A and B are shown apart, each in its own frame.
Chain A
Amino acid sequence: GDSVTQMEGPVTLSEEAFLTINCTYTATGYPSLFWYVQYPGEGLQLLLKATKADDKGSNKGFEATYRKETTSFHLEKGSVQVSDSAVYFCALRRNAGNMLTFGGGTRLMVKP
């Protein structure tokens, strides 16, 4: 079946540091890929998406590129802020359906 694997957290960074959160997936066909973010006490929000190979999703300074050859969708940001502290979830959706498969989430803590 489909699965998503994320690096385990927590990831602790200083403000303005470079961020990478790794995500790899297993799925049949060509899924769409997503990053969701969960701020403390809130539900998940879509951060960015990519629907086909080599697409780059971007939002709020975050980027991720759909790499079919390595089945990866790593999340990056050049300079993190304290306000980026949250849990980040990688997810996939098979093109034949609407259901999402989530990774385990990675907690990011940014210190001033």
Chain B
Amino acid sequence: NAGVTQTPKFRILKIGQSMTLQCTQDMNHNYMYWYRQDPGMGLKLIYYSVGAGITDKGEVPNGYNVSRSTTEDFPLRLELAAPSQTSVYFCATQDGTSSYEQYFGPGTRLTVT
């Protein structure tokens, strides 16, 4: 089992460019999350999904969009990159029924210049 995979590992964007951060899981978990981690700060929730076709905003959704067409995939879209979006992005999954543990991917380090 690969668990939670994220691509790319690193990316540099110019201001105004767009990109999609990919997240895929093979654990058949219903819940999926996107967090951002700024230097010296804790993780902040961007968007989450409780199942295919259902998404909702977290604490810091502005500038991002998500979709959840399958259980496995939960891509995060940045439409007009801004320097404030420079961060490390983590995807996480959770069973949502019997377990409260979240499983994290290795992260994507994004720099916007």
Chain B residues with a Cβ closer than 8 Å to the other chain, count:
23
Set B31, B43, B96, B100: member contacting A49, Cβ < 8 A:
B100
A103 in complex: contacting residue of B42, B45, B90, B92, CB < 8 Å: B42
Residue of A nearest to B41 (CB): A104
Q: Which B residues between 59 and 113 are near A, CB-CB below 8 angstroms? A: 90, 92, 94, 96, 100-102, 104-107
Does A89 sit within 8 A of B, measured CB to CB? yes
Main secondary structure of the interface of B (DSSP, over half): strand
- CB-CB under 8 A from A89, the residues of chain B are 42-43
The complex places the Cα of A98 from the Cα of B30 at a distance, in Å, of: 12
Known: A98-B31, A98-B94, A98-B96. A44 touches B104 (CB 8 A): yes
With contacts A43-B105, A46-B102, A93-B100 taken as known, whether A99 is within 8 angstroms of B42 at the C-beta atoms is: no
Whether A82 is near chain B, meaning CB under 8 Å from some CB there, is no
- Nearest chain B residue, comparing its CB with the CB of A105: B42
Neighbour of B104 across the interface among A32, A45, A51, A104, CB < 8 A? A45
Residue from A51, A100, A104 having most chain B Cβ neighbours under 10 A: A100
Task: Determine the distance from Cα of A4 to Cα of B44 in the docked complex, in whole angstroms.
Answer: 12
A-contact 0/1 string along B1-45, CB 8 Å cutoff: 000100000000000000000000000000101000000111111
Query: Which residues of chain B have a CB within 8 Å of any CB of chain A?
Result: 4, 31, 33, 40-45, 48, 50, 58, 90, 92, 94, 96, 100-102, 104-107
Residues of A whose CB lies within 8 Å of any CB of B are: 4, 32, 41-46, 49, 51, 89, 93, 98-100, 102-105
Query: Which 4 A-B pairs rank lowest in CB-CB distance, beginning with the nearest?
Result: A43-B104, A102-B42, A44-B104, A102-B43
